[in-house]
């Protein structure tokens, strides 16, 4: 089919062009209606375009335009909220986690937890002194050890804090002298915590521990 055109006379008599009249501001504007057809003049239908909607909607999709029937009225637009909208409105939060206690991952530092025991005493005997013995079938986990010696002592003594043959702290306690350290260490089941003195001098001890 050959391409052609017509030249309509002024807007009075003669050929008519199909339009859709819309009011924009103070003017009535005529929008020309476009018809989609094949090169032989056959009009496209909804089926021919492969869409299950009316032909005018198909035409709008093909042309990349959208027709709104009630222009120039304000149209609602949906979509993601802007930053300003998010700040100005309450955003609901849903889920089983909301307003519930949340678990904290990782192992807690037992030095700052409850359930520990602190004991104190005094020793002055040369050699091994068992200061804390766990209950049967338990082991001792020590968190803190503190030692002090008086100025009334006649000399210094080397102090060793240990489980069995494993020494954890060794310190020369003068007159006076002091030692303190906060670090986890533990023995084996039924093994007492021992302080060994190299000389017969009085040493005060403090220990924080748990039995497990």
pLDDT tens sequence across 15-58: 777 788 888 888 888 777 777 776 676 766 655 555 444 545 55
pTM higher than 0.75, yes or no?
no
Show the 3-state SS of 73-140: CCCCCCCCCCHHHHHHCCCCCCCCCCCCCCCCCCCCCHHHCCCCEEEEEEECCCEEEEEECCCCCCCE
Residue 52 or 112, more confident: 112
| 129: containing domain | 115-211
24 domain residue, yes or no? yes
Query: What SS3 class is residue 32?
Result: strand
Distance CA 52, CA 153 (A): 103
How many domains, in total, are found in the chain? 2
Model pLDDT, residue 149: 96
Residue 203: name the closest of 103, 140, 131 by CA: 131
Structure tokens at 36: 């989609």
Considering the domain architecture, whether residues 207 and 124 belong to the same structural domain is answered as yes
Considering the domain architecture, whether residues 125 and 203 belong to the same structural domain is answered as yes
Considering the domain architecture, whether residues 119 and 61 belong to the same structural domain is answered as no
5-9, 83-87, 88-92 — which is least confidently predicted? Answer: 5-9
Considering the domain architecture, whether residues 138 and 196 belong to the same structural domain is answered as yes
Structure tokens at 57: 């909607």
Question: Any idea what the CATH number is for the domain that residue 202 is in?
Answer: 2.60.120.340
């Amino acid at each position: 089919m050959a391409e052609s055109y017509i030249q309509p006379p002024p807007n009075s008599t003669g050929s008519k062009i199909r339009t859709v009249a819309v009011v924009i501001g103070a003017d009535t504007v005529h929008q020309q209606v476009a018809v989609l057809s094949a090169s032989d003049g056959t009009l496209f239908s909804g089926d021919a375009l492969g869409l299950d909607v009316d032909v005018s909607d198909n035409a709008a999709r093909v042309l990349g335009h959208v027709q709104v029937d009630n222009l120039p009225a304000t149209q609602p637009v949906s979509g993601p909220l802007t930053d300003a909208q998010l700040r100005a409105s309450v955003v609901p939060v849903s889920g089983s986690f909301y307003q519930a206690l949340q678990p904290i991952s990782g192992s807690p530092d037992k030095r700052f937890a409850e359930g520990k025991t602190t004991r104190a005493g005094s020793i002055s005997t040369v050699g091994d002194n068992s200061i804390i013995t766990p209950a049967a079938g338990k082991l001792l986990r020590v968190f803190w050890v503190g030692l002090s010696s008086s100025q009334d002592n006649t000399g210094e003594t080397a102090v060793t804090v240990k489980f069995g043959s494993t020494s954890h702290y060794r310190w020369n306690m003068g007159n006076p002298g002091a030692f303190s350290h906060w670090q986890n260490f533990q023995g084996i089941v039924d093994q007492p915590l021992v302080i060994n003195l190299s000389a017969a001098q009085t040493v005060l001890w403090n220990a924080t521990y748990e039995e497990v």
